[in-house]
A and B are shown apart, each in its own frame.
Chain A
Amino acid sequence: DTGVSQNPRHKITKRGQNVTFRCDPISEHNRLYWYRQTLGQGPEFLTYFQNEAQLEKSRLLSDRFSAERPKGSFSTLEIQRTEQGDSAMYLCASSLENYQPQHFGDGTRLSIL
C-alpha cells in the first residue's frame, strides 16, 4: 500500500496561466476526491469520482476548474487562467468505497505570482 501520490509537490506560475495537477490513489480505491486548503482553514471539498464517473462538484468551483479520471485510476485537476485567489494547497484523497475513511496525499502547493 504505497499511499496517495500527488504531483507536482509545488507549482509556481504567473497569473493567467493554466496548471494541471495529478493524483494517483491508493491501489484498488475506487473513490477519489479533490479538496483545496488555504492557510488557517480546513480542507474544502471540490469534487469526487467513483471510478471514472464524476459524482459531485462543489457549487463553489468555478468553470475554470475541471477534473478528470479517464480510466478510473489516476485523476487530473486543471485550473485555467489562474488567479491570485487560486493560491492554495490542493489535496487529493481516496477511499475504498462510500463511508470508508479518506486518506490524503501530500498535496500540491500552488503559488500564483
Chain B
Amino acid sequence: QKEVEQNSGPLSVPEGAIASLNCTYSDRGSQSFFWYRQYSGKSPELIMFIYSNGDKEDGRFTAQLNKASQYVSLLIRDSQPSDSATYLCAVKSSGDKLTFGTGTRLAVRP
C-alpha cells in the first residue's frame, strides 16, 4: 500500500465547474497536509495546507480533512483553464519530510 494515494486522472471538468481532488494516506499519525500545484516542467507551488479536521477555505480553493477516514481533498470552485495542472497531495508524518502522492492531472475544458 502506498503511503499517499491519489487518482492519477486525468480529471476533466468544464470551465466554471467545481473540481474535486482526493487523497488518502496510510499513516494515522500524520499531522499536516498540503496541496501543491505543478505545471508541466515547473516546480510544485503551494496551494493550501490544513492541520485540523474540517474545511479550510482560501479564495476559490477549499481543503477538507477527515483524519478518522485518513482522507484529504481539494475543491476548486469556478475552475479556469489556467487551473489545468497536476495537483500533488503531500503529508507530513514523523520528522519533517513530506511524502507525496503521484499527483492528479486536472484538465479544465474552455
Interface residues, chain A, CB within 8 Å of chain B? Answer: 31, 33, 35, 40-45, 48, 50, 55-56, 58, 89, 91, 95, 98-99, 101-107
Contact = CB atoms under 8 A, between A and B. Distances in A.
Rank and list the top 4 A-B pairs by shortest CB-CB distance, nearest first. Answer: A42-B100, A45-B97, A104-B43, A107-B43
A66 B109 CA distance: 44
B37 to A, nearest CB: 11
A99 B31 contact: yes
Contacts of B42: 106
Interface string B84-104: 000010101001111111110
A88 to B, nearest CB: 13
B31 A42 contact: no
Given A56-B95, A99-B31, A104 B100 contact: no
A44 B96 contact: no
Contacts of A95: 96
Nearest to A103: B46
B46 A44 contact: no
Contact of B43 (A42, A98, A99, A106): A106
Interface of B: 4, 31-32, 34, 36, 42-46, 49, 51, 88, 90, 92, 95-103
B65 to A, nearest CB: 15
B38 to A, nearest CB: 9
A112 to B, nearest CB: 18
A43 B4 CA distance: 12
A33 to B, nearest CB: 7
A66 to B, nearest CB: 18
A77 B103 CA distance: 25
**Most B-side CB within 10 Å, residue of A31, A50, A101:** A101
